[in-house]
A and B are shown apart, each in its own frame.
Chain A
Amino acid sequence: MKVFATSTDFDYSWEEVSTSNWRKYGPWNEKTPHVIAVDTLSRTIDPDTGILRTERLITCKQTAPKWVNTLLGSKDTSHAYETSYVDPKAKKVTICSMNMTYSDLLSVRETVVYRPASSNPSARTTMEQNAKITAFCGGWQKIKNSIEQFTVERFQQNAAKGREGFEMVLEMSRKVFAEQRELRILQEAKTALAP
């Protein structure tokens, strides 16, 4: 088993981060072309807690080295299942993902939490990312290790790209939001001035 953990702060409010998270893999993110589709499967609000629960299917296309394909079978398209929980009162987003492809050989489980940063809760957001990677096969430690090592390295690369891409999305969202607000003010002013 391999564990991967990291924590980063974004210079954006929790509201901005939690909203932009829904468009993290959209066209504004140029860093994660391996994510080719994101589909929402279900969406409910828990009546007791007010937590918004969303199920999504993430589709990726990424090539793997030949030895990995030999071991796991070559599939260039893979799927991940994601459930997220947004607690608007506690200001907490929790996103849990797992691999659906190769799931009989390998388990990749990731948890990401977004919370207002303790240093500046109204303007900064902390992201905590944890992943656990386990290859299955009792006895064959060497093979297990190399599969896990490859997966953790790929995971780290994708996580770094994901962060960079998310920064781009956050920046664009703020710009577009400001533009929309300006437009609205202009239109309102026009209507007010109209005879």
Chain B
Amino acid sequence: MSASLAPECNGVKERYDSCFLKWYSEKFLRGNATTDECEPLFKQYKQCLGKALKSRGIDTMLEEAREDNRENDAQHLRGGCESLVHPAIPRESCVRILTII
């Protein structure tokens, strides 16, 4: 399984990933996903990761990405996936490019 961006979370991440993979292949794909027995492990992993995301400032970047992703949720949790249109071009970025050049 892949590593975590926070090395201190690798141990609990590995335990959670293995638990999830077993649940996914043996229960979820077979239509027997009534309970999620990996939830306690996921809670531990999320707690560890949450701290790392905050200290690296990634949490605020994630908020923006989540905002942009709303249309995907609307489409895929209900079907269809066409519009990948980005909102209007931010003025600041153009100014930044022009200043660099």
Contacts and interface: CB of A to CB of B under 8 A. Distances in A.
Contacts of A183: none
B21 A140 contact: no
Contacts of A79: 58, 61
Interface centre among B24, B33, B58, B66 (most CB of A within 10 A): B24
A53 B73 contact: yes
A96 B81 CA distance: 9
Contacts of A98: 65, 68-69
Tell me which of B53, B58, B77 has the highest count of chain A C-beta atoms within 10 A of its own C-beta: B77
B69 A105 contact: no
A136 B25 contact: no
The range of chain B's interface size is 35 or more
Contact of A23 (B1, B33, B61, B90): B1
Given A39-B4, A105-B97, A83 B72 contact: yes
Contacts of A126: none
B84 to A, nearest CB: 4
Interface string A70-100: 1100000001010101101100001010101
Given A41-B62, A96-B81, A111-B84, A19 B72 contact: no
Nearest to B39: A43
Interface of B: 1-6, 9, 13, 16-17, 20-21, 24-25, 28-29, 31, 33, 36, 42, 45-46, 49, 53, 58, 61-62, 64-66, 68-69, 72-73, 76-78, 81, 84, 86, 89-90, 92-94, 96-98, 100-101
User: 10 closest pairs, A vs B, by CB?
Assistant: A81-B65, A38-B2, A37-B5, A136-B89, A85-B76, A137-B94, A107-B86, A109-B84, A96-B72, A104-B93
